[in-house]
A and B are shown apart, each in its own frame.
Chain A
Amino acid sequence: METDYVIIGGGVVGLSVAWGLLRRGLTVTVLDGDDGSFRASRGNFGLVWVQSKGMNEPRYARWSQQSAAIWADFADEVADNTGKTIPLEQNGGLDLHFSEETLHATLEKYEKLKTQLDGDYPYEVLGHNALRKSEPHIGPKVVGAILHHQDGHANPLKLLVALAADVRRLGGRVLTGKIVTAVTKPDTFHISCADGTFFSSNKVVLSAGLGAAQLGPKMGFKTPVRPQRGQVLITEKLPKLINRPSLIARQVDEGGIQIGATNEEVGLDDRVTQPGLSGLAAEAIAAYPALARAQLVRSWGALRILSPDGLPIYQESAELPGAFLVTCHSGITLAAAHARLLPDWLEGNDAAPNLEVFSETRFDVS
């Protein structure tokens, strides 16, 4: 059976794109890995985040803002379609600082970015006392915070389940346990899987997260993505302790406090370590001392999918036209953009967003 698109990888990126294509009436097959695959979509922190993104590339800051702005509407649509809720809160987010120096250094960069974005970068600085008003449990070591009004957080797993359900409801074919091993283009695309099955399509999207590193080069992409481990903790469910999410901790809709994440270059090792967990716990307690008494219930390690500059890669293959590489670090934040805006670019419409700066050519050595 031939479909308009085969999407390789059914993480949040692949499913968002599949959803967007299906909404436009295209036929889509999603091929996804097995229970043992590395899945960033299941281990991430759940922030829908704008601040600190694209400090050196305003286009990325703008792309994140665009996605954050339409996130609620997108989530509502998926939720309405499936009857599944996708908890989301966009009341702003905090960047907590333990020293005046780091606070000022960050502010300087934000000011510069704000000018580049024509002033559309709504943040404010909260000193310790002001912060304490909205976060009564904040600790004395926190000197202040940057509150960015475009930030928020969501339940990334519920987004994933709802997307998985809605993609099927829209007629998408989603097959799990399908590891794609080769993609060729004799005339249409021919996609072969490890279990001997194959699929054909007019176009292919490679959104296999870390799996793209192997497959990408065979399809004419550079695919310079690497894993970076993030360890994450979650506590027992607690009464309301944290209002706004920060890069240190957030209270999830189920009540647990999620704390994260380490940044470790350890290859494909997604284990947790005591030093990692202890470091995170210490930092979270410095921010919210009441957490010292909270029980740790779970921890996990997940692998970020990082390009050399941390920005997304959107690239059509020169070797196999009609094959696209779509990969990014912030797949939760960008889910709405991938679902609502990216399909125009894949389809080559007039409405296509300009994604030049995200092409792989930026990694060419000149």
Chain B
Amino acid sequence: MKHVLTFLELESGPRVDVTWDGTALSLPEGSNLAAAMLAAGVGVFRHTPVSKAPRSPFCMMGTCFDCLVEIDGVTRQACMVEVTEGMVISQPQELGGQVNEM
């Protein structure tokens, strides 16, 4: 995944370290997680369980669920979460397991 910065942060404040899919990111403390990840260049938040299509935040108000990520083992909407020090964030482990043909 390439990290082109498509968003710009207008202000800068204190930052904290988190990990995203195993790599370190430094995000503004207390900021909205989805916004901070976008500003840090994260382009794809998850892949859909149906077709594995890439997705990223769409509504930013907790209604579309396209910003789902796994935070410390629980699937959550990144746009409804504030950044805290040491968060472990990853793509949600969704899986459309197929039932075996008999």
Seen from chain A, the residues whose Cβ lies within 8 Å of a Cβ on chain B are 72, 87-91, 155, 236-240, 251, 253-255, 293-295
Residue B98 interfacial (CB < 8 Å) = yes
Question: What's the Cα separation between A89 and B97 when bound, in Å?
Answer: 13
Question: What's the Cα separation between A88 and B101 when bound, in Å?
Answer: 7
Most chain B C-beta atoms within 10 Å of own C-beta, residue among A91, A239, A251, A255: A255
- If the complex has contacts A255-B49, A293-B74, A295-B74, are A239 and B95 also in contact, measured as CB distance less than 8 A? yes
Counting chain B residues whose Cβ lies within 8 A of the other chain, the interface size class is 10 to 19
Q: Which of B5-36 contact A (CB under 8 A)?
A: none
Residue contact A254 to B49, C-beta cutoff 8 Å: yes
CB distance from B20 to the nearest CB of A (A): 20
- If the complex has contacts A72-B102, A88-B102, A253-B99, are A238 and B93 also in contact, measured as CB distance less than 8 A? yes
CB distance from A47 to the nearest CB of B (A): 13
A236: which B residues are within 8 A, CB to CB?
Answer: 75, 92, 94
CB distance from B69 to the nearest CB of A (A): 12
Residue contact B95 to A237, C-beta cutoff 8 Å: yes
B75: which A residues are within 8 A, CB to CB?
Answer: 236, 294-295
Number of A-B contacts (CB under 8 A): 44
Seen from chain B, the residues whose Cβ lies within 8 Å of a Cβ on chain A are 49, 73-75, 92-100, 102
Dominant secondary structure of chain A at its interface with chain B: loop
CB distance from B81 to the nearest CB of A (A): 14
Task: Other than A89-B99, A237-B95, give 17 A-B pairs with Cβ distance below 8 A.
Answer: A87-B99, A88-B102, A89-B100, A90-B102, A91-B102, A236-B92, A239-B93, A239-B95, A251-B97, A253-B97, A253-B98, A253-B99, A254-B49, A254-B96, A255-B94, A255-B95, A294-B75
Residue contact B99 to A238, C-beta cutoff 8 Å: no
Question: What's the Cα separation between A87 and B96 when bound, in Å?
Answer: 13
B92: which A residues are within 8 A, CB to CB?
Answer: 236
Question: What's the Cα separation between A293 and B100 when bound, in Å?
Answer: 26
Residue contact A237 to B102, C-beta cutoff 8 Å: no
B96: which A residues are within 8 A, CB to CB?
Answer: 237, 253-255
B74: which A residues are within 8 A, CB to CB?
Answer: 293, 295
A295: which B residues are within 8 A, CB to CB?
Answer: 74-75
B49: which A residues are within 8 A, CB to CB?
Answer: 237, 254-255
Residue contact A89 to B95, C-beta cutoff 8 Å: no
**What are 8 sample pairs from A and B whose C-beta atoms fall under 8 A apart?**
A88-B102, A89-B99, A89-B102, A253-B96, A253-B97, A253-B98, A255-B96, A295-B75
The chain A residue with its CB closest to the CB of B100 is: A89
B98: which A residues are within 8 A, CB to CB?
Answer: 87, 253
Question: What's the Cα separation between A90 and B49 when bound, in Å?
Answer: 24
- If the complex has contacts A293-B74, A295-B74, are A255 and B99 also in contact, measured as CB distance less than 8 A? no
B100: which A residues are within 8 A, CB to CB?
Answer: 89
Residue contact B94 to A237, C-beta cutoff 8 Å: yes
Question: What's the Cα separation between A293 and B93 when bound, in Å?
Answer: 13
The chain A residue with its CB closest to the CB of B93 is: A239
Residue contact B95 to A293, C-beta cutoff 8 Å: no
CB distance from B75 to the nearest CB of A (A): 5
Question: What's the Cα separation between A89 and B75 when bound, in Å?
Answer: 28
A91: which B residues are within 8 A, CB to CB?
Answer: 102
The chain A residue with its CB closest to the CB of B95 is: A239
A238: which B residues are within 8 A, CB to CB?
Answer: 93-95
B93: which A residues are within 8 A, CB to CB?
Answer: 238-239
